[in-house]
Amino acid sequence: MTNLEIAWIFSEIADLLELKEESSFKVRAYRKAAKTIKHLSDDLGSLWKKGKLTELPGIGKNLSDKIAELLSTGQCAFHQRLKEEVPVTLRELLAIPGLGSKSVRLIHERLHVNNMEELEAAAKEKKIRTLPGMGSKTELNILRSIEMLKQNAQSEVPIGVALPLANLFLNDLKRLPEVTDGAICGSLRRGKELVKDIDLLIATRNPDLVRQTVLKHPQVKDIITSGNEKSAVLTWLGVKVEVRTVSPDQFWSALHHLTGSKEHHERLRQRARSLGLKVNEYGIFPEGSEVSLEIKGEEDIYRATGVPYIPPELREDSGEWEAALENDLPRLLELEDIKGDLHLHTSWSDGIHSIEEMADAARRKGYEYIAITDHSRSLGIANGLSIERLQEQHALIKQMNSQSADLKILTGVEADILQDGRLDYPDEILEQCDVVIASIHTGFRQEMEKLTLRAEAALKNPYVHILAHPTGRILGRRKPYDIDLDRLFQLAKAEGKALEINSSIDRLDLNAALARRAAYEFEIPIVINTDAHDVSRLEEMAYGVTTARRGWLTKEQVVNTKSKLELDKFLKRRRIE
DNA sequence: GCCGTTTTCGGCCCGACTGTTTTCAGTCG
């Protein structure tokens, strides 16, 4: 039985306990354990054999026994018993916004509703409004929500879609009179690659004006809630936008509060409480006091609890508190640290702009170097370069470099990894390139062993420097390749090859968690590239850097923060080996 | 059900919004 299966069972137990209205703390204990197990990198089975289950946070005697039971028998008696007492199909009703365990239980007991279909029928027959505490609005909400759930199963949007939309709202709201400040918060500020909604905070003395503006905004399709301090709307893009207003003196504590994550805050409040402080969105209050400590920035909130500032990207309760308490937080990579982009396409293959145009755009960004890495010959659909055209391109780049010294243009190629693991050009051609990127563009539905062998063969090629978009996933559209990443990471480490964080808004591959593993567990150098096919997409470097920051990466772990000279050493060293 | 620099019991984060009420419970983030 896998970690994930056990996590699912614990999560189901939590829901069933909640529906039974058992202690919310017990429910929380199961939820927390499910989350811990889901994100665990070690196998539960081996931890069990070593007797180390109770060393996991939130796993005590009882839960470790249940894990052992599941691992040895494949079942858990407690879970089975719960399923007999509570219909599992009631769980799906919890997905309806506005319905929690209390309401679901009430509906189940009084109306004998067991699943979503029966709920819909009961609502249509106007039976819901006969229950105590429920009226016609609740009934309507249920019907509307079921309709929505039927329509869109997946409701997360990529950061690259959410961020521009968030800025559109933010810029409009910040221009209003009496608005002193505004910011993006929530998971978007933490840099998550997919977000469920957009959270905005506005500091103002006129919250009513802000609310009216939000509700009337041209992007708004539907109003979800509208209160004195908080409004929520559904945009035409299907993304929910929540706007919270606070008075200007509460801006920083509210910004911190709304940035989350929930789990990070729970730890903060626990710690604050142990120091005799209460933390909420309005400030930090010494026990019994109505007056907040002075807060002039988020730093002050952490300082009050005796730890250094924790950047938003780390606020996931994934080790940042432990690191902060040890004063061992990483000094995260900044966008300004990036000195160049090593994966660019031009009109020579399937890009839009010429080498000159891409180079000019890079100069405007203050880069020291770029690599032109057009597609290789077998990728006909992308107008891949023949050997002759590649050499012609190299000659042109050499000439351009001789005419201008401010930006070094490296010659390169994004070489396809062919079906048998060979690269798309012979070694003597690859040797002539300053930068060789290897990537899989075909046959990504092959079985794991074959795909892994292909990527391994590429990593073993002495002229390859970088493996691009290593998992091949496309956000919301294509799952990662079925590839053995542990083997790739081992080999990349042994061969001294770099792995890419591809910043393109629909890739972000490696993702934050994998980049963190590659860099910390395997000490693999990471390179952050845009894979831009036109000048505007050079700006997507920001998304790659955010992803790297969420993966705890420092400047030292990232190849393209190196100076021209240092980069040259890195590229040459690989080739000599 | 877990946990401990207030330690083996008694806590466990905190507040806003909605819908239904006439002061609040349930839900959500």
Report residues 522-551 of A contacting strand B, contact meaning Cβ closer than 7 Å: none
Closest nucleotide to A62: CA versus each C1': B1
pLDDT digits (tens, 9 = 90+) for A65-93: 999 999 999 999 999 999 999 888 888 88
The angle subtended at Cα A318 by Cα A314 and Cα A320, nearest 5°, is 55
The Å distance, CA of A393 to C1' of B25, is: 71
Structure tokens at A72: 């040895």
Dihedral (CA of A331, A336, A340, A346) sign? positive
Mapped to the 3 state alphabet, what secondary structure does A542-560 carry?
Answer: HHHHHHHHHCCCEHHHEHH
Give, for A223, the enclosing helix (H) or strand (E): strand A220-226
Residue A227 CB closer than 7 angstroms to strand B?
yes
DSSP state of A520: I
The Å distance, CA of A371 to C1' of B25, is: 62
Asked if pLDDT for residue A576 goes beyond 70, the answer is no
The Å distance, CA of A314 to C1' of B5, is: 26
Q: What is the pLDDT of residue A154?
A: 52
CA distance A239 to A438: 36
pLDDT digits (tens, 9 = 90+) for A223-271: 888 888 899 998 888 888 999 999 998 999 999 999 989 889 888 988 8
Give, for A89, the enclosing helix (H) or strand (E): none
Q: Do the beta carbons of residue A203 and residue A179 sit within 8 Å? A: yes
Residue A130 CB closer than 7 angstroms to strand B?
no
The Å distance, CA of A20 to C1' of B25, is: 17
Closest nucleotide to A277: CA versus each C1': B13
Rg (CA), chain A: 27
Q: Do the beta carbons of residue A304 and residue A522 sit within 8 Å? A: no
Asked if pLDDT for residue A381 goes beyond 80, the answer is no
Bridge partners (DSSP) of residue A211 are none
SS3 content of chain A, % helix, strand, coil (to 5): 50, 15, 35
Asked if pLDDT for residue A433 goes beyond 60, the answer is yes
Q: What is the pLDDT of residue A573?
A: 64
Residue A61 CB closer than 7 angstroms to strand B?
yes
Asked if pLDDT for residue A153 goes beyond 70, the answer is no
Report residues 6-25 of A contacting strand B, contact meaning Cβ closer than 7 Å: 23, 25
Residue A36 CB closer than 7 angstroms to strand B?
no
Q: A207-212: long-range contacts (C-beta < 8 A, 24 or more apart)?
A: A207/A245, A209/A176, A209/A177, A209/A178, A210/A173, A210/A176, A210/A179, A210/A243, A210/A245, A211/A243, A211/A245
Mean pLDDT rounded to a whole number for chain A: 90
Asked if pLDDT for residue A543 goes beyond 80, the answer is yes
The total number of residues written for chain A in this structure: 577
